[in-house]
Amino acid sequence: MPKYMYECENCHAVHATHHSMAESREKEKCEKCEKGILFKKLSNISFSVDKQQYSETRPGAIVDSTILDLHDELQSEKEKLKNNLWKEEGLENE
């Protein structure tokens, strides 16, 4: 089955999912934030990369960059939360 990537328009969480070409998860509600709706990302990289190209690329490089993207996102979310907490504490002390 082909693999599809969907991104949440609200929290930008990426949902990788397998389904047939006839199906679509577009416009479905995001499972992470339960607010945004999903839209299809252009991916299918794993299907379009031919074998010669792939041997020159470090295996897993595509996957790694995806994980790094998600990690960065997570970090910035954590920072935001931290800053919010500090702000609240700061207000109490004033």
Q: 17-23 long-range contacts, Cβ below 8 Å, gap at least 24?
A: none
Phi/psi at 77 (nearest 5 deg)? -65, -40
Type of residue numbered 44:
N
Say whether residue 66 binds Zn ion (CB under 5 A): no
Q: Which stretch binds Zn ion (CB under 5 A): 8-16, 47-55, 60-68, 75-83?
A: 8-16
Minimum separation from the CB atom of position 10 to Zn ion (A): 4
Site string for Zn ion, 10-39 (x = CB under 5 A): xx-x----------------x-xx--x---
